[in-house]
Chains A and B, each alone.
Chain A
C-alpha cells in the first residue's frame, strides 16, 4: 500500500494527469476540486501529502493552508502549493503561511515527482 496523496485542484484534466502520474509512481491518490470544504476533506482523509492549488472555487489555497496550519494535528503535513502566478510576492506569501514547497504552473512531471519524493522521503 503506497503513501496517500490528496490533490485539491479544480481543473479536471490536470487532476487526471496528476492522478495518473502519481498512481504510476506508487501513490494512493485521492482528489477534491473545490475550496469550500477542502479543510474538512483533509481532516477526514489524513493524507501523507497534500497538493494544493491556490485558485480554487469557494476558498483560496492560502486560506485553506492557514486553516490547516492552525490545527496542531495538521501543522506538519507536507503541502505542495501550485499556482499560475509565480511572482516573488506569491512565493513569499506561500512560505509565510507555511507551504512546504511552492511550484509554478506549468511544471514538468519530473519536477513534480522530485518535489513529492523530497517532501515524503521513502515514498
Chain B
C-alpha cells in the first residue's frame, strides 16, 4: 500500500513540474487518462513495466518514482516524529518525502544530529556524575552545610542554652563556615580548570587511556599466535588515537600485550582464573612466567561472568603513570601522582621485591582492595649497556582477602590523591586537601 501511494504522488509531481498534461502522458504510455489519474492519486497499484514506461516518458530513472532510498528516509522521519504529538500518518510521511525530498532529507539529517548530540550530552553528564573530584567536593560541601544548618538552627531556636554549649556551637559554626568557604573556593577553581580542558584528551597518554578503556583493556585480535598485521590494523581503525604520539604509545603498549600473550596464553590463564586465583604470584608460579607478565595479563582479561575484575596502575621510575585501569572501588587520579602510601611506590624503591597489602580508601564507603606490587626492569629496553629502566606495577582486586583459613589482613588507610583525601596527620601528605584545612 505504501509503495502504491508514494509512486503515484511522485509521478504527479514530476509530470506537473515539467509541464506535461495528464492526457498526453497517458497517451504516450498507452493507458487512459482516467486510469493515470487514479494512479496519480494512489488509487491503483502500478506494475514495474508501467513504472519504467512512465519514468522514460518523464525523463527520470524508474527508481526515482518507485521505492528505494526514500524508504530509508521515511523510516527516519517516523523516528523523528517519535517525539511529536499524536500519530503521524503513513501517507503524510510518504507524500512529504515524495514532494519535498530535499526538505525531508534535511529533516532526517537534523534528527540524526540531534540524536548524536543527545548521546554526547549523556556521556558528558555521566562523566560529570562520576568525576571523583567533583563528587567528593560536593559531598564535602553538603556535609558542611548540614552541620552549619543544624547548629545554626539550634542557636536560633533553643531558649535557655547553657553557655558552654553555646560556646561550643559558636566554635563549630566558625570552623564549619571556614571549611565551607575553602571547599567552595577549591570547587570553583577546579571547575574553571575543567572548563579549559573539556572532554578532549589533553595528552597522548590520555588518548591511549581512552582507547584502552573503550576496548575494555582486552584485545582478542592479539591473543592468536598469528597476529601479524593485527596491531597496525588496530591502530589504523582507532579513532581515539589521533596524535602521532598516541599512535606510537599505543603501538608499544599493544606490542607488549602481544609478547605477554605469547608467554602466557588465555588457554593457560583462564583455568587458573576460573579456580578463583587472585594472587598474581600464584598465577606467575603456576604458569612459569615473570610476575609482571602475570599482572599485566590479569589486568587485561576479557570481562566474563565468574572471572574477577582486576585494576592496575603502573608507573615509571619518575613516578609518572604509564598505565591506569581503575576499579569501581579504587578510582585512580587522572593527573599528577597517586598516594605515596600505595605499595606501588614502595615497590619502586625495592625492585624485584614483591609487595602486597590490603588497602582502604579514605572517604570511601566501599570495601577494601587488595594490592600486589612489584617493580622490574622494562623488558622492551633497547640498549643493554645502559642502566635498566625500572617500571613498577600494582595489581588491584576488590575484597580484603579474608577467608576461613586465613584471617584478613589489617587494611592500610590510603588515598587516591592528596587533594581529595581526608586522612588526618598523614606523613605522606604533600598538598592540602580541598576537603580539610591544613597540611
- Where the two chains meet, the residues of A that have a C-beta atom closer than 8 Å to any C-beta of B are 11, 13-14, 16-18, 20-21, 24, 35, 54-61, 63, 84-85, 105-110, 112
Contact = CB atoms under 8 A, between A and B. Distances in A.
A108 B148 CA distance: 10
Contact of A17 (B151, B362, B366): B151
Interface stretch (B86-94, B164-172, B210-218): B164-172
Contacts of A63: 365
Given A18-B150, A20-B165, A24-B158, A105 B145 contact: yes
Contact of A84 (B143, B153, B364): B143
B139 A58 contact: no
B360 A17 contact: no
Interface residues of B, number: 28
29 contacts: A11-B146, A13-B175, A16-B168, A16-B169, A17-B151, A20-B165, A20-B169, A35-B365, A55-B363, A57-B364, A58-B360, A58-B365, A59-B365, A59-B367, A60-B365, A60-B366, A84-B138, A84-B142, A85-B139, A106-B142, A106-B146, A106-B149, A106-B150, A108-B149, A108-B153, A109-B150, A109-B154, A109-B157, A112-B150
Contacts of A85: 139
A13 B363 contact: no
A105 B143 contact: yes
Contacts of A107: 146, 149-150
Given A55-B365, A106-B142, A106-B150, A13 B165 contact: no
Contacts of A57: 362-365
B400 to A, nearest CB: 11
Nearest to B413: A57
A14 B147 contact: yes
A106 B145 CA distance: 6
Question: What 10 pairs between A and B have smallest CB-CB spacing?
Answer: A60-B365, A84-B142, A17-B150, A13-B147, A105-B146, A106-B146, A109-B153, A106-B149, A13-B172, A14-B147
A58 B400 CA distance: 11
A27 B57 CA distance: 95
B176 interface: yes
Nearest to B171: A13
Contact of B142 (A24, A35, A105, A108): A105
B160 to A, nearest CB: 10
B172 A17 contact: yes
B147 A84 contact: no
Interface string B5-40: 000000000000000000000000000000000000
A61 B365 contact: yes
A60 B363 CA distance: 11
Contacts of A54: 365
Given A24-B158, A108-B153, A14 B146 contact: yes
Nearest to A60: B365
